[in-house]
Amino acid sequence: MNDSLSNLLSENRTFAPSAEFAAQANAKADLYEIAERDRLAFWEEQASNLHWHEKWNQVLDWQPPFAKWFAGGKLNASYNALDRHVLEGRGDRVAFLFEGEPGDTREITYAQMLTEVKKTANALLSLGVKDGDRVAIYMPMIPEAAVAMLACARIGATHSVVFGGFSADSLLARIQDADATLVITADGGFRKGGAFGLKSIVDDALKGETNVQHVLVVKRTGQDVTMGAKDIWWHELVDKQSAEHEAQPFDSEHPLFILYTSGTTAKPKGIAHTTGGYLTQAAYTHRIVFDLKPETDIYWCTADVGWITGHSYVVYGPLINGATQVMYEGTPDTPHKGRIFEMIEKYGVTILYTAPTLIRTWMKWGDEFPNKYNLKSLRLLGSVGEPINPEAWMWYREVVGGNNCPIVDTWWQTETGAIMISPLPGVTATKPGSAMRTLPGISAKVVDDEAKEVGNGGGGYLVLDKPWPSMLRGIWREPDRYKETYWSRFDGLYFAGDGAKLDDDGALWLLGRVDDVMNVSGHRISTTEVESALVSHHAIAEAAVVGANDELTGQAIVAFVILRGGVEPDQELEKSLKAHVTKEIGAIARPRQIMVVAELPKTRSGKIMRRLLRDVAENRAVGDATTLADPNVMKLISEGLQSEKKED
């Protein structure tokens, strides 16, 4: 088992919620018992908070590993997110407080969102998009991204949002795999003080073979773009549409979206989510974990809609719960390193949900930035995407939260759809760095290699042993891969891919991935994906990639490459390889470091021993290498790197 599973800091500090917070909290301690008593009745009750056009006739149909939740029920995601609020008199409430990176702002109410979504739904229908069709969305963080998602949901089209940082090749692969017929994009967006292009990347992607009939383009930056025969401006098509559109009911198990995520092979997995169960758990967790008081809170989740966090905690969860939220287009250091804090003060943000990588970056930038602004409006802080180290947790609590905000460290995945493990902010006495325990209604275990539960104080693999409403329903069109990836490691258990440990009090500590998946700034990237990109470069014969610890990004990508015969390493090569990976996958996959080696450490069966390379990448003594086919390899690699360093 992975060495990292056995070393755990002992953390004895605990922080209980204040009496005031506990008294007003949405979730009280009895929620655990209620859920425990009758799990399915508990989930039925959560589902009843949604509007159903028709009620379900079965709570759960579980044919492992395939689940149906609320089967027979019919509902509409967009109706739940928007119509309901307007019909019940909340149309004037602000849904989005949008701020573009250049400083432009828009306030959009629920009524305005609904009108825009209805028009967009009509626009999609006019383009021939039908329920069941797939629509790729490749957008900057602007309100139209949420509008596009909800318009798809409204007419039963399945959206597949592709993060705006992905390359043309990555976008093409996702469009092809989902067989999308429409792409919704923008000319570009604003980031790091300038405009970047998206439409041009879509143009590149669509040079490949696809069934895309139209490309709908939001004008965001005004940059020059080429508009071809398939291309239509959003404002020209959407603005002239009727603002009448009646949301149609869809089956609870109707596919709401596909979201691609990295696995252990080079081909990303299209994680497929459906409607009723997903919305139930997204809304439930958003209400109890963030303690949302929709009339008074200003909520801000900093995630991009290109990731699952943006789906569940920017679009579906918050809108269903009637939240008023901040949406920001740009980067946290533009035009200055206090931008996020400035916006917290400006909008009076009460709930902030962000990622450890940003928290660590803030720590590095220095306390003067948060200290310059009044952050007293904050009452709850959240963290997601990777383990948060206790120092960062304490800093978040003290410097951002003024020692006054419960912190919810939330563990979940694209596959789980919604939060699974997290403190309840009004109940749990939290420990810095621990996600604590499963939410009411959710069940997880930590097991050893033989699927035996480890006791308190033990480490092992995190598994989910009972189906949950927002669970993935499969990998898009790859049922065998779904079984193989998640359900084959342990019989009847969903294997999350994470190592975990239970401390002496039974609190859960997530220890990172135990498979060949890296976590860079909270984003999942597979080692194989980057290796394939490197090997597609003309200079490279073979590549091995590992995630090495990195102070800011959690892990950073370190690549070991073998050059093709006749290629000489030089300064330009490293640059060209980094640029190549950026072009193939996107900037998030750019290696921090590339080391040229003569051989790679392999077992006799030819498997690369990444563990040893990780030792090198993290400047540690190389561990046990006795299973190597050629025991001298590691010596050669280390010596080679030493002499390279000397030459530098």
Q: What is the binding site for ligand PRX (CB under 6 A)?
A: 261, 308-309, 384-387, 409-414, 435, 496-498, 510, 512-513, 519, 524
In angstroms, rounded to a whole number, what is the distance separating the alpha carbons of residues 91 and 312? 22
Q: Which is nearer to ligand PRX, 114 or 384 (CB)?
A: 384
Q: How far is the CB of 409 from ligand PRX (least distance, A)?
A: 5
Phi-psi region of 298 (alpha: psi -120 to 50; beta: other; left: phi over 0): beta
Q: How far is the CB of 520 from ligand PRX (least distance, A)?
A: 10
Q: Which residue has the tokens 């002496």?
A: 504
Rg (CA), the chain: 24
Q: Which is nearer to ligand PRX, 181 or 521 (CB)?
A: 521
Q: Which is nearer to ligand PRX, 56 or 411 (CB)?
A: 411
Q: Which is nearer to ligand PRX, 172 or 419 (CB)?
A: 419
Q: How far is the CB of 2 from ligand PRX (least distance, A)?
A: 13
Is residue 497 within 8 Å of 414, Cβ to Cβ? no
In angstroms, rounded to a whole number, what is the distance separating the alpha carbons of residues 620 and 347? 46
Q: Which is nearer to ligand PRX, 303 or 600 (CB)?
A: 303
Q: How far is the CB of 87 from ligand PRX (least distance, A)?
A: 32
Q: How far is the CB of 28 from ligand PRX (least distance, A)?
A: 23
In angstroms, rounded to a whole number, what is the distance separating the alpha carbons of residues 539 and 535? 8
In angstroms, rounded to a whole number, what is the distance separating the alpha carbons of residues 213 and 199? 15
Phi-psi region of 610 (alpha: psi -120 to 50; beta: other; left: phi over 0): alpha
Q: Dihedral through CA 44, CA 49, CA 50, CA 55, nearest 10?
A: 40
Q: Which is nearer to ligand PRX, 56 or 260 (CB)?
A: 260
Q: How far is the CB of 554 from ligand PRX (least distance, A)?
A: 9
> Which run of H or E residues covers position 135?
strand 134-138
Q: How far is the CB of 523 from ligand PRX (least distance, A)?
A: 6
Is residue 395 within 8 Å of 359, Cβ to Cβ? yes
Which of 322, 319, 320, 374 is CA-nearest to residue 347? 374
Q: How far is the CB of 65 from ligand PRX (least distance, A)?
A: 17
Q: How far is the CB of 612 from ligand PRX (least distance, A)?
A: 22
Q: Which is nearer to ligand PRX, 100 or 268 (CB)?
A: 268
Q: Which is nearer to ligand PRX, 197 or 263 (CB)?
A: 263
CA 64 to chain centre: 25
Q: Dihedral through CA 363, CA 368, CA 373, CA 375, nearest 10?
A: 40
DSSP state letter for 416: T
* Residues ≥6 apart with Cβ < 8 Å to 34: 42, 440
Is residue 298 within 8 Å of 64, Cβ to Cβ? no
In angstroms, rounded to a whole number, what is the distance separating the alpha carbons of residues 56 and 273? 18
Q: Which is nearer to ligand PRX, 133 or 409 (CB)?
A: 409
